[in-house]
A and B are shown apart, each in its own frame.
Chain A
């Protein structure tokens, strides 16, 4: 049973040079209570995919140009008028941004901001909303929560601010939280705490999370399943341990090989030469083919290949490489 089912999503941005197909045929499923990671490098469409779900484009000239975004019990969010979608935001699906400071109102005390969210959607008194805010701060392990209720965002550290943002996202008990690089601005020790918190909230409330990150380590630490995106498309998906320990798409392998690890000390790293294609007129065939060391002639022609299972891999582990054998590229 899927909580969210995205089918063949296409999202376009209109730019000065033409239509940018930021998301071009993405399909994925998220089950209740799971953390689904979407990884990829800048411009791969991971954020655009997730912003499409709630149509949160921040004023950018973007539109969902095709596909379905099916939320269990609610319907197709892609086909929903703006007013109906506003009812879904926060209540069914909440969003956590990378920078907690821009997500919080600098002139409003923490307690009041969380209470506002509750008051807007629920019929409760101010006192009850404040009490609920206090409970939420406790849930996200904010120390001395009574005192923090009356603090302004600037008085809190980065980690505490992100906890407050998570408390706000949890306020209406949404079934899905979309977290866009929630720990990228944080130090590694604080990141560790926030990731544990997300996992714990997910396990105890059954809320599902889509976690967008460029950091494969973060995915390894908290996610159940994952998708790797490249140039607007998913190139590999599956259970996290499967994809990271037995990657099958050349791009996923190249990405892992480029990371400095204990084993690579004393040897040169293996970068991916070249840069991702422009998405106004993406190349035919596999979009990674121009940079792929294994590419054959037919890789660069025809429609972009879709996700398929590979003989010998675990169920649910799919990749979009047409080669029947993908030898290890790490030298």
Chain B
């Protein structure tokens, strides 16, 4: 049974509609960030969501944690519809930039204490202090950090604090939105190891959103590939990277620079990330797709493809 489930989730944002637009009776324009995503996250797995900027991966995560409502569809947690953030804090989020997600005027200890006080009202001061110590220990930070302010910490330490704060409510699911993208490689490895350990030892379910295919391949059990608000491929990580079936997934993997091989002679795909406002009938990737043909103009469904996984391309096999 899935722990967290997205059912037909869609989210659109209104684009600025000024007085002149209204006077000219122009229709309101919408940006469709997420268009009907069905995705279930199984207990104990690390699910990766990859895609280029603007594909809707971050919006999907924010909907999952309840920071933003969906315009259509529902998010289900333990089988029940979730309306807004889970009151018990069982779903938590970690953001890309640990600089802006911590309060610069509060000590680390006070910030963790605040979260603990909110979710564990029964705990006294001493109990909360013990839990702060335990959380710091959990993420591999020394106890002195509790008395420090965020500016006194390195980037990697700040990201550990963000993770410790997310763990304070004892979550079952952690949605991590590009948690290592702002970090140097040597520090990135520490945070990735930490996430792996939390998954393995504590059974924490992780949704890992990233644009870095190497990190996703290394860390994730399953991977969902998003393109312009839709999932175009979903499969076991090993199978997806070994034999990608959607042309977009293939292009994304081929574009990753290889450390030990010179580049291929021909670029994986041409064209820019498309305008999300442009109305495309049928396959949304077709304008950049090397395999596109007339049939791609009809809408493509995400269909299961044996032995595992699903793909949104009629030509994939």
Contact = CB atoms under 8 A, between A and B. Distances in A.
On whether the two chains bind one another, the answer is yes
Interface of A: 41-42, 157-160, 187-193, 195-196, 199, 214-218, 220-222, 241, 244-245, 254-256, 258-262, 264-265, 268-272, 275
Interface string B251-274: 110011111111100011110110
Nearest to A44: B184
B154 interface: yes
B257 A259 contact: no
B184 A42 contact: yes
Interface in B202-236: 211, 213-215, 217-219
Contact of A258 (B189, B255, B261, B268): B189
B187 interface: yes
Given A190-B272, A196-B263, 8 more contacts: A42-B184, A187-B52, A188-B52, A188-B211, A189-B252, A215-B257, A216-B259, A217-B214
19 contacts: A159-B273, A187-B52, A187-B273, A188-B52, A190-B52, A190-B272, A192-B267, A193-B270, A196-B263, A214-B184, A216-B259, A217-B214, A220-B258, A255-B186, A260-B214, A260-B217, A271-B190, A272-B189, A275-B154
Contact of B268 (A189, A245, A265): A189
Contacts of B90: none
A254 B238 CA distance: 26
B188 interface: yes
A41 B186 CA distance: 8
A157 B255 contact: no
Contact of B255 (A160, A188, A268): A188
A241 B259 CA distance: 9
B193 interface: yes
Contacts of A188: 52, 211, 213, 252, 255-256
B211 A221 contact: no
Given A189-B251, A260-B217, A262-B217, A244 B260 contact: yes
Counting chain B residues whose Cβ lies within 8 A of the other chain, the interface size class is 35 or more
A160 B271 CA distance: 10
A220 B238 CA distance: 24
A221 B262 contact: yes
Nearest to B266: A196
Contacts of A244: 259-260
B291 to A, nearest CB: 16
Question: Which of A193, A218, A222, A241 counts the most B-chain CB atoms under 10 A from its CB?
Answer: A193
Question: Which of A190, A191, A216 counts the most B-chain CB atoms under 10 A from its CB?
Answer: A190
Contacts of B259: 216-217, 220, 244, 256, 259, 261
Given A189-B251, A221-B263, A245-B260, A268 B217 contact: no
B273 A195 contact: no
B258 A269 contact: no
A221 B273 contact: no
Interface in B35-77: 52-53
B151 to A, nearest CB: 14
Interface of B: 52-53, 154-156, 184-190, 192-193, 196, 211, 213-215, 217-219, 238, 241, 251-252, 255-263, 267-270, 272-273
A140 B63 CA distance: 39
Nearest to B241: A262
A265 B211 contact: no
A269 B192 contact: yes
A265 B214 contact: no
A41 B189 CA distance: 13
Contacts of B269: 189
A44 B83 CA distance: 47
Contacts of A158: 53
B256 A268 contact: no
B52 A189 contact: yes
Contact of B214 (A256, A259, A268, A271): A259
Contacts of B196: 268
A254 B185 CA distance: 10
Given A187-B273, A188-B211, A196-B263, A261 B187 contact: no
Contact of A221 (B155, B214, B218, B257): B257
Contacts of B193: 268-269, 271
A41 B184 contact: yes
Closest 10 CB pairs of A and B: A217-B257, A260-B218, A272-B186, A271-B189, A269-B189, A41-B184, A187-B52, A258-B189, A192-B255, A221-B257
Contacts of B215: 260
A214 B255 CA distance: 17
B272 A157 contact: yes
B16 to A, nearest CB: 13
B215 to A, nearest CB: 5
Nearest to A160: B272
B154 A270 contact: no
Contacts of A196: 263, 267
A236 B273 CA distance: 37
A294 B245 CA distance: 44
Contacts of A218: 257
B123 to A, nearest CB: 33
Nearest to B288: A189
A241 B238 CA distance: 27
A199 B262 CA distance: 12
Contacts of B272: 157, 159-160, 190
A191 to B, nearest CB: 7
Contacts of A215: 257
